[in-house]
Amino acid sequence: MDGTAKKVLVIDDTKLVRKIITYVLNSSGIETIEAENGLEGLQILEENFLNIRAITVDVEMPIMDGIEFIKNVKAKKKYENLPIIIVTSLSEKEDMQKGLELGVYDYIIKPVDRTLVFLKVRNAMRYYENTIEIEKLNKDITRKNFELEALVEIRTKELENMTNSLIVALENANLYNDENTGKHIKRVAMFSELIAKELGLSKEFVARIKMYAPIHDIGKVGIPDEILKKPGRYTPEEFEIMKEHVVIGYNMIKESSLPETAKNIVRYHHEKWSGTGYRIGLKGEDIPVEARIVSIADVFDALSTKRIYKEKFSIEETLRIMAEGRGEQFDPKIFDIFLKNIDKIIELKNRYADDE
């Protein structure tokens, strides 16, 4: 373990037996430490633990017998793998059984056979050395795993920072070209996060929806100003051009490293539950859930907020209009969750209200 001498602790109150065992082991190049009883053995073990590779212990001894010694050793975690060999006679089968039940490595029958003493102690020492090596390997693996996890965390953070920078750039591009405010973008993200949580989606998925909801209309940067900022209603031809913003937005990011969550929000947030939305015409659950969530959040904020082309609707009127779209424009399950949490959503809307 630390380069110190490897020793065997020999515990026996009979000096002759003790000397026979130590002689056999010493003759084979194995160093020993002797103790006359279990209590002395515990003291020596505590002082020399890093050196000791195995223990032989007699059962019948004064002050502290072998069984009590074994119980004390096995009670301490740092000693749990240290191999103990009981030295006993055939008449002490009950003690032998107790020792085995307590987890001793092996036993030696008196009168001791020198060859068996050497072989059993050698095998016990090898077992313990292997155990030590396995523990070292496990610690190395654990350490390397921690290092790898730390590296992955650093790389993930770097990627998140890069992604956030891209999102901010896309948001800013959208703000420069649209009448929507940054607070609208913030509100849509917050509404979407709340709905996604209440829907029971995973923590990671909820975080992605919140992160990428703000770029749902990024494709509007490709819509001419005379249409995008028109104060009145669109003509049918103008509305067809406006619909292209989902295609433009998707084309802007489809080759990027942004996840599918972002691409789905941009591409599908104007799809409708009935299949009558644009531009793909997806229906029902074929529409990615993240797009279904952002659709509700976006429409709620758009209707209840003043725009260049309209006055804002009251919350009551907004909810009445949206309720007509339940099961037609909006996923009915998600819409019901939205309604169930409308007080929280209104609180968020007030918290992030536009400056008048």
Buried b / exposed e over 72-86, threshold 16 CB at 10 Å, is bbeeeeebeebbbbb
Number of Cβ atoms within 10 Å of the Cβ of 149: 10
| Beta pairing, strands 84-88 & 52-58 | parallel
Contact 244, 219 (CB under 8 A): yes
- Among candidates 192, 181, 162, which has minimal Cα distance to 295? 192
Contacts by residues 180-186 (CB-CB < 8 Å, ≥ 24 positions apart): 180/217, 180/307, 181/354, 183/352, 183/353, 183/354, 184/301, 184/302, 184/305, 184/354, 185/214, 186/214, 186/352
Distances (CA, A) of 273 to 1, 293, 318, 336: 67, 11, 19, 14
Q: What sign does the CA torsion over 332, 334, 340, 343 have?
A: negative
Number of Cβ atoms within 10 Å of the Cβ of 14: 14
Determine the angle formed by the axes of helices 289-303 and 182-198, rounding to 10 degrees.
Answer: 130
Residues 6+ positions from 249 with CB-CB distance below 8 Å? 215, 216, 217, 218, 219, 220, 222, 266, 267
Sheet-wide strand order for 84-88: 31-35, 7-11, 52-58, 84-88, 106-109
* Token duo for residue 67: 């069984």
Contact 324, 154 (CB under 8 A): no
Number of Cβ atoms within 10 Å of the Cβ of 15: 10
* Token duo for residue 312: 């804002």
- How high is the pLDDT of residue 291? 97
* Token duo for residue 152: 């992955």
- How high is the pLDDT of residue 83? 94
- How high is the pLDDT of residue 239? 92
DSSP 52: E
Contact 294, 216 (CB under 8 A): yes
* Token duo for residue 209: 């929806």
- How high is the pLDDT of residue 90? 65
Tell me how far apart the alpha carbons of residues 173 and 163 are, in angstroms, rounded to a whole number: 15
Q: What is the pLDDT along the chain (356 residues), one digit of tens a residue?
A: 444 578 999 999 999 999 999 999 999 999 999 999 999 999 999 998 888 999 999 988 999 998 999 999 999 988 888 999 998 876 667 777 777 888 888 888 888 889 999 999 999 999 999 988 888 888 888 888 888 888 888 877 776 676 666 666 666 666 555 555 568 888 999 999 999 999 999 999 999 999 899 889 888 888 888 888 888 888 999 999 999 999 999 998 898 878 899 999 999 999 999 999 998 999 999 999 999 999 999 999 999 998 877 789 999 999 999 999 999 999 999 999 999 999 999 999 999 887 65
| Beta pairing, strands 84-88 & 31-35 | unpaired
- How high is the pLDDT of residue 1? 41
- How high is the pLDDT of residue 2? 43
- Among candidates 121, 119, 85, which has minimal Cα distance to 105? 85
- Give Dmax (Cα) for the chain: 111
